[in-house]
Amino acid sequence: MFVFRRWLRKRSGKLPAAMRDWTEPGTEFAQDPQANLKLLEKTFENCSDVVFQNVKLPGEREALLIYLDGMVDRQLLDQQMRLGAVARDRGGAPASPGKLAEELDSRLGTGGTRTVNTLGEFAKGVMGGQVGVVLDGEPCILIVGAGRPPSRSVEEPQAETLIRGPREGFIEQIQTNMALLRKRFPTTRLKMEPFTVGELSDTKVVVAYLEGIATDSVVLEVRNRIARIRIDGIVESGYVEEFIEDLPFSPFPQVLNTERPDVVAAHLLEGRVAILIGGTPFALLVPMTFWSGLQSAEDYYERFPIGTFLRWIRFAHLLIALFLPSVYVAISTFHQEMIPTNLLMSIAGAREANPFPALVEVLLMEITFEALREAGVRLPKQVGAAVSIVGALVIGQAAVQAGIISAPMVIVVAVTGIANFSIPRFNFAASIRLLRFPMILLAGTLGLFGIGIGLLGILIHLCSLRSFGIPYFSPVAPLSFGGLKDVVIRSPHWAMKLRPRLTGYQDPVRVPEGQMPRPGASGKQGNQGGGAP
Amino acid sequence: MKGLGTLKRCAVLAISCTLLAGCWDRKEMDDIALVMASAIDQLGDGQIELSLQIALPTGIPGTLQTGGKGQKPVLVVAVKGKNAHELIGQAQQQLSRKLFFGHRGVIIFGEEYARRGITEVLDTLLRFPDSRYNSFFLTARGASAKEILTTPYHLELIPAIGMKIMQNSQYTVGVKIDRFLDHLAADGTMPYSGAIRIVKDAQGEPTFQIDQVAVYRENKLAGYLSGKSLQAFKMIKGMGKGMKLTAEVEPKGPETQGTITADVLSVRSKIRAFYVKGTPSFDLTVNVDSRGLANDSTLDISKTPNLLRAEKALTDELNERLTDLLTLTQREFKSDVVGFGRELHIEHPKAWKKLKKRWTDLYPEVPVRVRARVHLERIGRTQAPGHLELPE
């Protein structure tokens, strides 16, 4: 510990005090065309994807187009240049770049054409996929809209599959993602505030919320936390998540992530705030509660009894995933009198040839299981099958037959694994997976008493945790009975009349009264509600 | 500790608590010898013998380990000595695994040992943290307790489990340690326990049977209840459901036995205590609701007079049994196993204060009026018995 701290101090002494400023220099263009050209060549030196293309325009004018290969639609560019040239021809005298830009802007369907005066702005534009035009060596014009960065099409999300529900998933391009959201809320109340994060990556981050529904304080907090981020580059949503969490050292995730626009839409309707990030198909949702880690979108798409049943299954499996191995260790090494006699006999019979104490056995198996799972996820699909063969044969059979691991332990670990898979949110399930190990150690040293301590610790932590100011364990602690009908059960949509108490309550009503379908209710009452006639 | 954060301080505290306190009672499943039943016998030379039936997990089939076949599922260890605690230590010296009493289902007293008094073992049981209060007490009859432990039983893997299941069923009287101790400690009632004996099965192999009740007087065995007096005892104790009552309603005919059998549906028994002029007396009321189970007579009990006659016969039969039981406990056992004293205590606490000390001596002479009543709720058939002639 001490050595480590000294090492840390030594290392940190070498770090520069401040972060380097990566913004492009604001050099202005000179009057001399040759000097400008040199400057541009120097700026784009060694950027082999930048194309310098000389174009002869009618009227003996020469234009130099500078753009990124692969980021620009060439056909569109050709077309636009021709249109621009025609525009100039009609005017007779050669137009100044400013005039030309104006003309292009009004003529072209893409819009956003402008002139820039500084090298920095020019370079930034070109790097962002715009086309730079140097007309007769004069200061430059930028054409926006010809850019077409590479992207894939909208596909079904891989990480969150549903049986019933939309098949659209977010993609890496943020514009598409915003469109997917806007498609669901064609209203101006859906606000999408842009931010740019990352000194080098210039990643676009968009904060989306429904105005008037989302709690203002939460929106404000999200804005502040995102604006505060200073980093060289954002590669994935996880980078942002770690900067905006409430308690970075908690084992529980405080920000929800999803690939599904429909999940985002549902959360927006509950008054939550979505954060879209360029370059990743994952959107972040805040504030998160403990219970949303146990909810799947399908709970709301299937009929409510099924949703309720599935929720209960998940609650049970959450407990199993967290406690089964530790309870097994505790009871089989400390409290044998608690096991029914017949069960004890079969466990004892199975453990007879076993050389390891239960604690060591369970740790061995859990670690092997985690390794198998990890290997299965990382391996290429062609090799993946080998993992399951090795796993099933080596652990499932050989270890038991060789008498190294007892059969009940294999069952315990397998059931725990399956239980963990039934938790729908991957990052939430991973935190349960992590917590299992301290629980096993506690159980192996202190028995059920240790499990009690561990459970208490987890509960205390959960009750004190907050996500963007909203208690993590709500609506159970602090208790709000209205909220329980979306936690303990999944009540039908016509019965979930109000938004959650802690988010979206400034406009609480989601569903008016009297929407429960019943014979004879339609036609007479309309949807204004108010009991049967 | 100076300079450490709160978190580290807590961690140091927690680690030292777990490592230094020595509260480490971890015992692996393969380090314990599971005692399934224990038995205590009196030997001729004043020593007592403790036998333990220990389950052998390797003998339990159904696991993946082969080689379990043919092995015995239990092991019986017997040691002789002066007192129970010493005996447990001796037994431990024969075993490589630690004795574990958490799953002991039955404790059997040898008949001779029980007649001498069981106080010492009870004390051991009470002080022994491992023993569970829900083990059953059994008293051996006609055999030593050790013989019963070594008797094979084929329906269950482990004989002790067989005994425990039998004791849990309604066909035997099962008394767990806590109830036994409760009866022993309470004023005005005496303890009893199930009695187990060895019988021969159809192949002539010995097996055990639990069909009697051992009655104690204080801590000493007084005698056994069996047959009809046991039935009467169970009726009073509210365990009569499912019992069969057979009574003669008419003389034995050429084709019929002249009996009617009733299946007891519910029993309500009540003891009322009276204290008049310094002498206690009791009313014992037993109301039985039953249904006709068999009619081996010429009576058609769907007719009201016949039904009443049958009820009368059954009532008489029950009355007789109850009276027999009371005679037995009063004259022979001199043990208030039914619990009349407790009832007197409840109804006449002041009188009880005076009589409490002498109650054991007083009980054999106390008058008890028996009032039984059997009610045939259903005749058990929707039509007349087949052997009765149909009316022309």
Q: What is the mean pLDDT of residues A396-401?
A: 82
Minimum distance, in Å, between the CA of residue A245 and any CA atom of chain B: 21
Partners of B18 on chain A (C-beta within 8 Å) are 445-446
Q: Tell me, what's the pLDDT at A100?
A: 66
Minimum distance, in Å, between the CA of residue B137 and any CA atom of chain A: 18
Q: Tell me, what's the pLDDT at B1?
A: 45
- Note whether B28 contacts A: Cβ–Cβ < 8 A: yes
Whether residue A4 is predicted with pLDDT greater than 80 in this model: the reply is: no
Terminal alpha carbon distance of chain A? 75
CA distance A52 to A69: 10
Contact criterion met (CB < 8 Å) for B65 and A349: yes
Smallest CA-to-CA distance from A414 within A443, A391, A437, A430 is with A391
Mean pLDDT, rounded, of chain B? 85
Q: What is the mean pLDDT of residues B264-275?
A: 91
Contact criterion met (CB < 8 Å) for A348 and B28: no
Task: Name the β-bridge partners of B282.
Answer: B273, B368
DSSP state of B194: E
Any idea which of A174-183, A507-516, A519-528 has the lowest mean pLDDT? A519-528
CA distance A504 to A514: 22
Any idea which of A31-40, A483-492, B288-297 has the lowest mean pLDDT? A31-40
CB count within 10 Å of CB A58 equals 10
Smallest CA-to-CA distance from A440 within A337, A367, A368, A362 is with A362
Partners of A345 on chain B (C-beta within 8 Å) are 34, 55, 57, 60, 157-158
Partners of B100 on chain A (C-beta within 8 Å) are 336
Contact criterion met (CB < 8 Å) for A333 and B28: yes
Kindly identify which residue of chain A lies nearest to residue B8, measuring between CA atoms: A1
Question: Between B146 and B123, where is the model more confident?
Answer: B146
A302: phi then psi, degrees, rounded to nearest 5: -85, 170
DSSP-based helix, strand, coil % in chain B, nearest 5? 35, 30, 35
Whether residue A424 is predicted with pLDDT greater than 50 in this model: the reply is: yes
Partners of A407 on chain B (C-beta within 8 Å) are 63-64
Kindly identify which residue of chain A lies nearest to residue B55, measuring between CA atoms: A345
CATH superfamily assigned to domain B233-387: Nutrient germinant receptor protein C, domain 3 (3.30.300.210)
Minimum distance, in Å, between the CA of residue B38 and any CA atom of chain A: 16
Question: Between B240 and A508, where is the model more confident?
Answer: A508
Q: Tell me, what's the pLDDT at B391?
A: 56
Kindly identify which residue of chain B lies nearest to residue A400, measuring between CA atoms: B64
Helix A304-333 vs helix A358-378: crossing angle, to nearest 10 = 140
Q: Tell me, what's the pLDDT at A472?
A: 94
Question: Between B65 and B333, where is the model more confident?
Answer: B333
Question: How wide is the angle at C-alpha B324 spanned by C-alphas B319 and B326, nearest 5°?
Answer: 95
Minimum distance, in Å, between the CA of residue B208 and any CA atom of chain A: 21
DSSP state of B132: -
Contact pairs from chain A to chain B, CB under 8 Å:
79
Smallest CA-to-CA distance from B86 within B113, B38, B47 is with B47
Best mutation target among B8, B24, B29 (most A Cβ atoms within 10 Å) is: B29
Partners of B164 on chain A (C-beta within 8 Å) are 341
Among B32, B64, B161, whose Cβ lies nearest the Cβ of A341? B161
Q: Tell me, what's the pLDDT at A98?
A: 65
CA distance B209 to A156: 70
Q: How far is CA B11 from the centre of its chain?
A: 52
Kindly identify which residue of chain B lies nearest to residue A330, measuring between CA atoms: B26
Whether residue A48 is predicted with pLDDT greater than 80 in this model: the reply is: yes
Contact criterion met (CB < 8 Å) for A336 and B60: no
Contact criterion met (CB < 8 Å) for B57 and A349: yes
Q: Tell me, what's the pLDDT at B60?
A: 65
Q: What predicted TM-score, i.e. pTM, was given to this entire model?
A: 0.84
Question: How wide is the angle at C-alpha A279 spanned by C-alphas A278 and A284, nearest 5°?
Answer: 60
Q: If you compute the radius of gyration of chain B from its CA atoms, what whole number of angstroms results?
A: 27
Contact criterion met (CB < 8 Å) for B30 and A358: no
Q: Which helix (H) or strand (E) holds B273?
A: strand B259-276
- Note whether B32 contacts A: Cβ–Cβ < 8 A: yes
Contact criterion met (CB < 8 Å) for A336 and B62: no
Contact criterion met (CB < 8 Å) for A349 and B32: no
Contact criterion met (CB < 8 Å) for B62 and A349: yes
Partners of A337 on chain B (C-beta within 8 Å) are 102-103, 132
Partners of B9 on chain A (C-beta within 8 Å) are none
- Note whether B102 contacts A: Cβ–Cβ < 8 A: yes
DSSP state of B128: -
Q: Tell me, what's the pLDDT at A122?
A: 82
Kindly identify which residue of chain B lies nearest to residue A401, measuring between CA atoms: B64
Kindly identify which residue of chain A lies nearest to residue B54, measuring between CA atoms: A345
Question: Between A179 and B129, where is the model more confident?
Answer: A179
Q: Dump pLDDT digits (tens) for A100-112.
A: 666 666 666 556 6
Partners of A336 on chain B (C-beta within 8 Å) are 27, 29, 32, 34, 100, 102-103
- Note whether B34 contacts A: Cβ–Cβ < 8 A: yes
Whether residue A416 is predicted with pLDDT greater than 90 in this model: the reply is: yes
Q: What is the mean pLDDT of residues B129-152?
A: 88
- Note whether B99 contacts A: Cβ–Cβ < 8 A: no
Whether residue A144 is predicted with pLDDT greater than 70 in this model: the reply is: no
Contact criterion met (CB < 8 Å) for B58 and A336: no
Contact criterion met (CB < 8 Å) for A350 and B63: yes
Whether residue A260 is predicted with pLDDT greater than 90 in this model: the reply is: yes
Contact criterion met (CB < 8 Å) for B103 and A336: yes
CA distance A28 to A12: 38
CA distance A196 to A128: 13
Residues 160 through 199 of chain B touching chain A, CB cutoff 8 Å: 161, 164
Q: Dump pLDDT digits (tens) for A356-371.
A: 889 999 999 999 888 8
Q: Tell me, what's the pLDDT at A533?
A: 41
For B83-109, letters b (16+ CB in 10 Å) and e give ebeebbeebbeeeeeebbbbbbbbbbb
Best mutation target among A352, A360, A442, A446 (most B Cβ atoms within 10 Å) is: A352
Residues 119 through 158 of chain B touching chain A, CB cutoff 8 Å: 132, 157-158
Q: Tell me, what's the pLDDT at A106?
A: 66
- Note whether B105 contacts A: Cβ–Cβ < 8 A: yes
Whether residue A529 is predicted with pLDDT greater than 50 in this model: the reply is: no
Q: Dump pLDDT digits (tens) for A277-287.
A: 999 999 999 99
CA distance A202 to A79: 29
Q: Tell me, what's the pLDDT at A138?
A: 65
Whether residue B276 is predicted with pLDDT greater than 60 in this model: the reply is: yes
Minimum distance, in Å, between the CA of residue A354 and any CA atom of chain B: 8
Half-sphere exposure of A227 (CA within 13 A, CB side): 8
Q: Tell me, what's the pLDDT at A105?
A: 65
DSSP state of A336: G
Smallest CA-to-CA distance from B206 within B146, B139, B158, B152 is with B152
Q: What is the mean pLDDT of residues A199-206?
A: 91
Mean pLDDT, rounded, of chain A? 84
For residue B175, give both structure tokens.
Answer: 């008394």
Contact criterion met (CB < 8 Å) for A350 and B65: yes
Task: Name the β-bridge partners of B264.
Answer: B290
Q: Dump pLDDT digits (tens) for B41-100.
A: 988 888 889 999 998 877 666 544 444 455 678 889 999 988 777 888 888 999 998 888
Kindly identify which residue of chain A lies nearest to residue B57, measuring between CA atoms: A349
- Note whether B97 contacts A: Cβ–Cβ < 8 A: no
Please report, for residues A1, A103, B107, B170, the alpha-carbon distance to residue B4 in angstroms, rounded to integers and kept in the order given.
11, 71, 56, 65
By the 8 A CB rule, do B51 and B38 touch?
yes
Give me the torsion for CA of A339, A343, A345, A350, rounded to 10°: -110
Whether residue B223 is predicted with pLDDT greater than 80 in this model: the reply is: yes
Q: Tell me, what's the pLDDT at B63?
A: 46
Q: Tell me, what's the pLDDT at A128?
A: 82
Contacts 24+ apart (CB under 8 A), B359-367: B359/B187, B359/B188, B360/B217, B360/B218, B360/B334, B360/B336, B362/B280, B363/B330, B363/B334, B363/B335, B363/B336, B364/B330, B364/B331, B364/B334, B365/B330, B366/B280, B366/B281, B366/B282, B366/B330, B366/B340, B367/B281, B367/B282
Contact residues, chain A to chain B, C-beta under 8 Å: 332-334, 336-337, 341-342, 344-354, 357-358, 400-401, 403, 407, 444-447
Percent residues over pLDDT 70 in chain B: 91
- Note whether B37 contacts A: Cβ–Cβ < 8 A: no
Q: Tell me, what's the pLDDT at A530?
A: 47
CA distance A232 to A439: 38
Partners of A356 on chain B (C-beta within 8 Å) are none
CA distance B40 to A276: 77
Give the domain ranges of chain B. 28-225, 233-387
Among B58, B102, B103, whose Cβ lies nearest the Cβ of A349? B58
Residue-level length of chain B? 392
Contact criterion met (CB < 8 Å) for B63 and A352: yes
Partners of A332 on chain B (C-beta within 8 Å) are 28-29
Kindly identify which residue of chain A lies nearest to residue B23, measuring between CA atoms: A446
Question: Between B380 and B322, where is the model more confident?
Answer: B322
